[in-house]
Amino acid sequence: MAEYLSPGVYVEEFESGSKPLEGVSTSTAGFIGLAARGPVEGLPQLITSPADFSRVYGGYLSENAFGSYRYLAYAVNQFFLNGGSRLFVTRVAPSDAKSASNEDGAVLSASAKNPGAWGNQVRIIVTPSSKAKTPILEALEGNRYRVKNGSGFYAGDVVVFTSGESKQVNRVVSVQDQTIELSQALTGEVADTALVPSKWLSTSEFTLTVVYGSEAETFEKASLNPEAPNFVDKLVERSSLINLHASAVSEGSVTPFEQIAGADAATFEIILSGGSDGSAAALSPADFIGEDNGPGKRTGIQSFIDNDVVSIIAIPGVTDPNVQLSLVAHCESLGSRFAILDLPREATKVQDVLAHRDLFDSSYCALYNPWLQVFDPLDKRNIFIPPSGTIAGIYSRSDTTRGVQKAPANETLRGVVGLDVQYNNGEQDILNPAGVNLIRAFSGQGIRVWGARTCSSNTLWKYINVRRLFIFLEESIKNGSNWVVFEPNTEQLWARVQRTIDAFLTRVWRDGALAGSSPAEAFYINIGPSTMTQDDIDNGRLIVVIGVAPVKPAEFVVFRITQKTGSE
């Protein structure tokens, strides 16, 4: 309650109506898989185009080296080609993958930012530089010198006094105002008060240029002085290519560049080596499942625990049951995302497909078959890839153009020139009721997704769009209702909450996501004495019961035609 102590007019703002509730995005995808480079732990990286993926994670992997584990790059390309716009990626690397480094680095120990043979192409070019110089105006007692400008000089810096051809290397002990104390006294006449000085006291640093292909990073005026703000370890922390540690500190008798490169060198180059992509044989389901090592250290599937944006997730080409069941469990645990699963390429017969399908019973995942034929830019030929990346793009495209209530089926596949297997109606008659979504080619209609079922045995959740609509509603209501927490649990709050949710669901109904000819037929909201007891209120619980009528897809279109006779 505001206090009014002085006479006057007071103007105050207050909120009386409901707060608008905004729908969350459902078209953001997440992929997990092998890549040529990129971080292997921490938060998944946002990718907005195939070129962006190439910049962060490198290009396509060799089939000879990684076989069925190499499909992440192809899935990313297909995702964007089929209408996807935002994608988060987590890289998995084999346990025997190694980061390139300079093992004999006596002064600077460098290594590639992450494992992979890509690091063997990284070059670090070192050149001498200086961040500050000034003439000495007066020599004081005790190795102290009054200079024209002491800015840029720090205790511990190696400095060079230049007079004509002679150079004296020294070390700064302290800097106070325009007075610099050195570790040793300079010899000869050092003062220079001329308008154009010819004698200079300058700092001694070096510049690092890190080159990888067309990428280049420059770290100017780096120092070996740990006390300086331009200490090389601090500067290189922001590099996306290398990790670097100074194994030695500045010495007063040798410049930092000479410590690194030796005497009489104009430039010095550090070559990284020993990097390895690892082998497919070293991969195991544990690499994809990942480890929960705490925030910023999680790997594999576990890294997506820290991401609350992704609503579609896949591990393209990885069909190991342990990995897929872990991915489904991850989606069920969070309740905010849907998994797209691939079948093994060799599972083409109906019995083999059903055997793999029987491993799952969840409304948070869907299975798609067969594999798709696309052009491989690496080998310049057509290859077969798993469908999950393409299907994720179709989910995103359908959500954007029609809404999450539209089943992501009867949609054409872009960039796909053929199918690994052609299924007929009789085979789909067996697979569709079992919850396997087939991709089929129709004459004159292209290649289309011809199924929209989850892997759930519960008929209430057999359609993908119903589960994803509820994910959308639940996440939107949860994210838009944070303002309710710790508000007084009174009838005024109940009325505001009901108005907020009512306005949101009415908008969803008008968009065609809910069945019914009126909002009353489409949903109901109960809050108050009918949903809460006094014990609930005493224990801080506000309970709202919401019922919605989701639209179901017209999966079977039946036209019943009879013969009309003249007497009828």
For 221-275, what is each residue's pLDDT tens digit?
999 888 888 899 999 999 999 999 987 666 667 888 888 888 777 889 999 999 9
* Percent helix, strand and coil across the chain, each to the nearest 5: 25, 25, 45
Same domain, 491 and 356: no
Last residue in a domain, options 237, 271, 305: 271
Q: Looking at residues 112-133, what average pLDDT do you find?
A: 93
Q: 84 and 76 in contact (C-beta within 8 Å)?
A: no
CATH number of the domain that residue 156 is part of: 2.40.30
Crossing angle of the two packed helices 72-81 and 388-401, in degrees rounded to 10: 20
Report residue 124's pLDDT band, with 50, 70 and 90 as the boundaries: very high
Do 335 and 421 fall into the same domain?
yes
Give the per-residue pLDDT at 1: 60
End-to-end CA distance of the chain: 80
- 1 inside domain: no
Please compute the mean of the pLDDT values over residues 192-220 and round it to a whole number: 91
Q: Which DSSP symbol is given to 476?
A: H
Distance, CA of 151 to CA of 144 (rounded, Å): 16
At 227 the pLDDT is: 83
Q: Answer yes or no: is 72 within a domain.
A: yes
Q: Is there a domain that residue 303 lies in?
A: yes
**359 and 214, same domain (yes or no):** no
Write the pLDDT tens digit of every residue in 521-564.
999 999 999 999 999 999 999 999 999 999 999 989 999 999 88
In-domain check, residue 475: no
What letter would DSSP give residue 18? Answer: P
Is residue 222 domain-shared with residue 74, that is, in the same domain? no
Q: Quick one: tokens of 485?
A: 């927490």
Distance CA 169, CA 322 (A): 63
Rounded Cα gap, residues 234 and 232, in angstroms = 5
b/e sequence 78-87, b meaning 16+ C-beta within 10 Å = bbbbbbbbbb
220 and 286 co-located in one domain: no
Per the structure, the count of domains in the chain is 4
Residue where one domain finishes, among candidates 271, 296, 323? 271
Q: What percent of the chain has pLDDT over 70?
A: 98
Q: How far apart are CA 147 and CA 523, in angstroms?
A: 80
Co-location of 226 and 344 in the same domain: no
Task: Assess whether pLDDT exceeds 80 at residue 16.
Answer: no
Q: How many CA atoms lie less than 13 Å away from 97 in the CB half-sphere?
A: 27
Residue-number span of the structural domain to which 492 is assigned? 480-568
The last residue of one of the domains, among 223, 245, 271, is: 271
In a domain, 471, yes or no: no
Q: Domain for residue 23, yes or no? A: no
CATH code of the domain containing 46 = 3.40.50.11780
Residues 323 and 462 in one domain: yes
pLDDT-based confidence at residue 147 (cuts at 50, 70, 90): very high
Give dist(CA 90, CA 307) in Å, integer: 11
List alpha helices for 37-154, DSSP H. 50-57, 63-66, 72-81
Looking at the fold, whether 220 and 255 belong to one and the same domain comes out as yes
**Domain membership flag for residue 186:** yes
Instruction: Specify the pTM.
Output: 0.89
Within 346-426, strands assigned E span: 365-369, 372-376, 381-385, 418-419
- In this structure, the answer to whether residues 433 and 347 fall within a common structural domain is yes
Same domain assignment for residues 256 and 308? no
